Structure 1
Amino acid sequence: MRFIIIRVFCTITLSLEINGESITRHTNVKCEVLDKSFAEFPVCKLNVLGRGIIAESVYMKFLKLPIKKISVNFTVYKKLSGYHPFLFNVTVDFCHYMKHPNPMNIFHYFYTAVKPYSNFNHSCPYNVSESYHDILVKDFVLTDTMFAKIPLPTGNYMFSIKLATDDVWRVVLNTYFDVNVENKY
């Protein structure tokens, strides 16, 4: 408990370094399938929607259904001399979370940010007969308000999202973004 309080204090202190208005934007996205018989990524890209507005689009097609148990590992990395773990490394039973969302869980903040851009809004199981069970995130744009409750200091970051079914890691999605980039659009 004491370690968590120290981490939160350090994060808030580091966030006070940011002078002026924070600006966030995607810089890259990489999708990796660890089990090629489980899923594939027909779409994994960034789109430029407008001047300085970069959106992420990901489409993951499940090849092995039904899925009854899903675990999601969410880790935040900060780039120093390479990417190093920073602040969060949380594993969530996604099926349980969808039935009983907990706003006190840090995963809840990230899920609610992506939810309007995605179709994963129902609980398990993911069935064979229905094609809408594929995961789709379309035109997800980072905004500064998404980081209002979790302030991040200036720098380059990576969100790593790992997906496991039946306790076997199947998919890794790495999203790279910058915080407080200079406004040179």
Structure 2
Amino acid sequence: MRFTTFTVFCTILLTLELRVESITRHTNVKCEVLDQSFVEFPVCNLKVLGRGIIAENVYIKILKLPVQKISVNFGVYKKLSGYHPFLFNVTIDLCHYMKHPNPMNIVHYFHTAVKPYSNFNHSCPYNVSCNQHDIVVKDFVLTDQMFAKIPLPMGSYMFSIKMATDDVWRARLNTYFDVNVDNQN
């Protein structure tokens, strides 16, 4: 246990050394429907807002209501020769997290980053009887401050979110981004 803690601490220190002038940027987004009778993605794209400013837009339309139980798998992957697991891969009960947000949970960092750009802000049951309850992420731009508590070394990454209801995987959202794009050798 001490060796693992020491290794993580050293990795974070080295990462902080390497990230002097960090620039993060979206490179791609892919939305995949695993159960077409349950969910659809009317919007899943990147939009250029300005020079070097790329925003992600995702619209998730849930077709069956109400949603009582939601599980979400979060994973970060680093591109080496293909995408390989990096840092963490966790599955959480989203309904429990939304009722009792825990700032010590790794998911909390990602939720607080997306929260200003999203309407996803309440707990279960998730009633989708009208369009205002569809999940929308609009003009989400990555900033270096989002990675202040979880520093990433220079490279290309994929952030994968896989959603399940009633223990059946329904959809997958993969967001691709680069760290230190302008400073690479």
Fold match by TM threshold 0.5: yes
CA deviation after TM superposition for structure 1 residue 5, in Å: 1.9
Runs of 4+ in 1 over 4 A off after TM superposition: 1-4
Q: In the alignment, which residue of structure 1 is the partner of 2:161? A: 161
Whether the 8 Å contact between 2:19 and 2:153 is mirrored in structure 1 is: no
- Equivalent pairs counted in the alignment come to 184
Tell me the SS of whatever aligns to 1:16: helix
Tell me the SS of whatever aligns to 2:18: coil
Tell me the SS of whatever aligns to 2:109: helix
Q: In the alignment, which residue of structure 1 is the partner of 2:40? A: 40
Q: In the alignment, which residue of structure 1 is the partner of 2:149? A: 149
Percent pairwise identity:
81
For the aligned residues, what is the CA RMSD? Answer: 1.7
Map 1:71-110 → 2, pairs under 5 A: 71-110=71-110
Matched, 1:21 2:17: no
2:99 is aligned with what amino acid?
Answer: K
Whether the 8 Å contact between 2:60 and 2:136 is mirrored in structure 1 is: yes
Q: Return closer, same or farther for 1:93/1:19 CA change in 2, 3 Å cut-off.
A: closer
Quote the Cα distance in structure 2 between the aligned partners of 1:63 and 1:74.
23
Gaps of 5+ in 1: none
2:42 is aligned with what amino acid?
Answer: P
TM-score by length of 1: 0.94
Q: Return closer, same or farther for 1:7/1:173 CA change in 2, 3 Å cut-off.
A: farther
1:20 is aligned with what amino acid?
Answer: V
Q: In the alignment, which residue of structure 1 is the partner of 2:180? A: 180
Quote the Cα distance in structure 2 between the aligned partners of 1:78 and 1:112.
22
Whether the 8 Å contact between 1:68 and 1:124 is mirrored in structure 2 is: yes
